Structure formats: structure tokens, C-alpha cells
Copies of this chain bind each other. A is one copy, B any other.
Amino acid sequence: MNVSVLGCGRWGSFLAWYTNRVGHDVMLWGRPGSKNLESLRLERKNEYLELPETIKFTDSLEEAVESAEIIIISISAQQLRSFLQTVSALPHIDEKIFLLCMKGLEAGTGKRLTQVFKEEMGAGCHVGVWLGPGHVQDFRKGIPNCMVIGSDEIEVTKKTVEAFNSELIRFYYGQDLIGNEIGAATKNVMGIAAGMLDGAGYSSLKGALMARGTRELSRIIRAMGGNDLTIYGLSHLGDYEATLFSPHSNNRRFGEDYVKGIPFTKLAEGVATIEALHHLSEVYDVELPICSALYAILFEHKETSKVLVDLFLRPVKFEF
């Protein structure tokens, strides 16, 4: 099958490597002038992977979209809307399947990425999400993992799982698009919280963070119409190993550096998600104590250690 991957960062180039490995004809797209694309073209490798000769490169969005049956998008979540405004002008887009391999919510609106997709591409365009745990470094070594693909259209889920399932990635059918999108986006928020606990010397509170964080997120998902068990699946809890406990996690690292006063050059994706969640908390009238604490720290500049300790020592008697 012809597959195009839009976005040639670490994850995008992995997706090209993986989909090629499972037998597809793959084209990897980067923006004109993209340094990643330039360097991949020259060397056929980046810090993590070598890409085989059979993967084509292009900086023509039209070529990438036109030639593929399944189009995987892996760019920064906050850039999705403007990016799709360009994609939506291309021909035949309603004959394709788009898979969003990215985690986030739109800051300001709190919208899920498939909502942004439908608004920009039209309700008739087919879209799914590909989410869950996995490190590029491990996959390259042949260490398998489980991930999830979901869509509002079961045919999209079935077709893409069939196309991409392998001994290296075992895919599950996502049963709750709302829960999986919120779960995937908010694992970055929990990653920031975990990093703050690490930075403040409270790593042992990460257990309580997991138990209480999943509870509050479960409540917002239910309020939005999703299933309150989804947060405990691969897209969220299943990604905690890679996010809350990995020194490599950008979001965890961001939280740790923030607490330690180490300057950061780039905001972690979870920061925009905290803003989006803060908005959703008000819209759906659901209390999100951990999210509110992070909002108070990052957007209202409250003292981190005090907010974190207050959060875990607040007088609540029942867990559920």
C-alpha cells in the first residue's frame, strides 16, 4: 500500500521506518527548507534510525498526499489547524485515510485533534488516531510494544490496524475516541507533574499522582461523553512508563527543570494541554485538582512546592 508520512521529526521518521518495515511503499514529507528533511536526504539517517533506500522523500505536500492511500500526520499539535488548512485545499482528500500520530489538545479551545481535523477537512474526510507507548530506541532494537488505533469509523480502525499490525507493534482497536484522545494528550500533563515531583524531591508521590490523576481525567472524559475506563488503557496509563518514569521524556524533563529553575528553550507540549484542560474544566464544570495546580504554577506563577504539597495533603476523605 502507498503510505505517506507528513512530518519528519523523530516520531515521523520512525513512522516512515516502521511502515516501510511492515511492507508498504512509503514517502516521507518535510516542509520545504526543513533541516530534518535535508539531513535525512543526505545521510538517510538521524540520531535514532537509518532509513532504507526504498523510502522516498519529498517536500511537496501535494505529491505526498496525492500518491498515498493512508496518510499519517506527525507534527506539533498546536500547528495542526493551520497545516490542515493547506492540506484541505488538495484534491481527492475525501478518498484517503488520515491517521493522526500526535498527542495534544488545541490550546484556547480545548478541542481534540480529530475535531480540529473535521472542522478543517470536512466531516466526510476519514480520520483515525494512532496512540500509545513506545520508544524509537526500543523499536529499533526489536523490542515490541502495544499501541492503539481508533476512529469514529470502525472500517478505518480495521483497515489501518490490518495495514500496520506486526510482531513489533501489536495494535488494539480503540473503543473510545474521546477517551483515547484526551488520555493521550493528558499523559503529557501528568508527565510535567511527575517531573515537578522529581525536581522537588517528591518522586515517591508519583504513585499518588497516578492514582489521583487518572481519577480526575476519567471524570472529565465521562463528562465529555467518553468511557471512564479508557484513561486506564494503553493511550494514557500505558504510556506512563515512557512519560512519568523516563529520563528521556520531554514533558517530565520540562517539569523537573521548571522546579529547579533551569531555563528551557522550548515549552513542552503538555503546557498547551494544561491550558486546554483548564478551559475544558470550566466548560464541563468538572473539578480537576491536579490540572488546576499545574495551571496555577505555570500560568499564575504560584510557588511550586507549596502548591504540590497542598495538592496531595488537601482534605479529601474518599478516593472515588
Contact = CB atoms under 8 A, between A and B. Distances in A.
Contact of A319 (B144, B233, B241): B233
A206 B208 CA distance: 18
Contacts of A201: 143
A207 B239 contact: yes
Interface string A200-225: 01111111101110110000000000
Interface residues of A, number: 51
A301 interface: no
B172 A319 contact: yes
B234 A309 contact: no
Interface stretch (A12-20, A51-59, A74-82, A130-138): A130-138
Contact of A133 (B143, B208, B319): B208
B309 A204 contact: no
A238 interface: yes
A146 interface: yes
A200 to B, nearest CB: 9
A242 interface: yes
Interface string A258-283: 00000000000000000000000000
A319 B215 contact: no
A148 B207 contact: no
Nearest to A317: B173
Nearest to A135: B204
A138 B211 CA distance: 19
Contacts of A318: 172-173, 175
A237 interface: yes
Contacts of A211: 146, 232-234, 237-238
23 contacts: A132-B207, A135-B204, A143-B204, A145-B205, A148-B319, A170-B313, A172-B316, A172-B319, A173-B317, A173-B319, A174-B319, A175-B319, A175-B320, A203-B241, A210-B238, A210-B240, A210-B241, A211-B234, A211-B238, A215-B233, A230-B320, A232-B232, A237-B237
Given A143-B204, A208-B238, A211-B233, 16 more contacts: A135-B204, A143-B201, A144-B312, A145-B207, A145-B312, A148-B319, A167-B313, A175-B320, A203-B241, A207-B237, A207-B238, A207-B242, A210-B237, A211-B238, A214-B232, A230-B320
